[in-house]
Amino acid sequence: MDPRDNPYSPGAGRRPVALIGREREMTAWDIALTRIADGRGAQSLVLYGLRGVGKTVLLTQLALMARSQGWYVMGAEARRGQSVREAIGESVHGLLLEIARPGVGQRILKAVKTALSFKASYDSTGVWHFGLDVTGAEGGGADTGALETDLGRLILDLTGAAEDKGAGVALLIDEAQDLATDELAALLAIVHGANQRGDRLLVALAGLPSLPRQLSEAKSYAERLFAFHEIAILNRAEAAAVLTEPAEALGVRWTTAALERVTAAAGGYPYFLQEYGQAAWNAADGSPIGDTDARIGIVQGRRALDAGFFRIRWERASPAERAYLRAMAQDGDGPSLTAQIATRLKKKPSALGPARANLIGKGLVYSPAHGDIAFTVPAMAAFIDVQP
């Protein structure tokens, strides 16, 4: 069939035509938005799971939901080596471009002035211009160098401005497992303070399965601030709907055999479903998409995954790190015991510490528990097993 009409779209963070199986999280977010807008309290959200299960897609959807209700939305991605101060600061710029208009109220002017000082706290050479004179406005002071103080002041003034329009501030951070411990601690303290004051702030953090543990280690009260949602693989019915709903909207059906074959091969992972679905569509001559099309789609989809999704990660590893990954692959998708890996590689665990730390830093593995290590992407072990 014509690839220009193909409804499947594998890609990092790209929203599929049918966002299936995440209704619970979207409902929880919608309820929280409504409760906070009505002056009631609500827990923020933590979304955690392996790569390829749709955390970034869901986070984007939550941002759209908040924006549709008039909320001020800031979205950032944590990166190792970059301060969260800079990531959040740059996300504020886009927000201010939307709300900083001549004739705005004093609370928005105050928020703009505070945001300008926050910008100065990490970039003394860059200046934002919004065509507003904030000389006599209140605000500012978000440049002390203390993240909790500066970010807390910025969010306080932004929530005050949002309150004038009956909304709030939504802060969404992807790859939150890459935040430093002190950054997590500062963020949690800000959320805690906002909750105590009744500020209109709602936060969503997305990250690897290690994120809940990292939060609890940063602040003991973290589990009371957030509702934790594991973003897991889709069940068979949900996986089938991911394939059938976009096709049916275009008048195309799947045979039962083809549907069962592709959903089984994908193992419930949304990214794999998009890859296999796209290839099967392109292989089909017309409706329905049959078993032969499904077989071709799986073969071609796996080639695409091997060439991109898996290989990019494999090639980021050094020879020593690849040896570590090969030792992990003996346990399938794991997790593996770090002591067992040391035995397989005939080295002391301490000697493997740098390789393990580098792999965690590169986002290839994570530690689900003390003494354990696991791949961040599904089916990585099978890919490694066939590498020369």
Confidence of residue 123 (pLDDT cuts 50, 70, 90): confident
Residue 230 CB contacts under 8 Å (≥ 6 apart), including other chains: 48, 49, 209
Same domain, 68 and 125: yes
Domain boundary among 295, 313, 331: 313
Answer left, alpha or beta for residue 125, where phi above 0 means left and psi between -120 and 50 means alpha: alpha
Same domain, 281 and 299: yes
| Residue 6 domain flag | no
Same domain, 45 and 71: yes
Give per-residue pLDDT as tens, 4-48: 999 998 876 677 887 899 999 999 999 999 999 988 889 999 999
Whole-prediction pTM = 0.88
pLDDT value, residue 43: 94
Of the chain, the percentage scoring pLDDT greater than 70 comes to: 97
Tell me the CATH number at 276: 1.10.8
Tell me the CATH number at 325: 1.10.10.10
pLDDT value, residue 297: 96
pLDDT value, residue 272: 94
Give per-residue pLDDT as tens, 339-369: 999 999 999 988 999 999 999 988 899 988 8
Same domain, 43 and 191: yes
Paired strand residues for 46 = 205, 228
Confidence of residue 327 (pLDDT cuts 50, 70, 90): very high
Closest to 202 measured CA to CA, from 158, 138, 139, 260: 158
Same domain, 307 and 322: no
In the chain, how many domains are there? 3
Same domain, 56 and 169: yes
Domain boundary among 230, 262, 280: 230
Give per-residue pLDDT as tens, 44-72: 999 999 988 889 999 999 999 999 999 99
Same domain, 251 and 368: no
Provide the token pair at 59. 């986070």
Q: What is the mean pLDDT of the chain?
A: 90
Range of the structural domain that residue 322 is part of: 318-385
Name the residue with tokens 């800031």.
74
Domain boundary among 284, 313, 342: 313
| Residue 1 domain flag | no
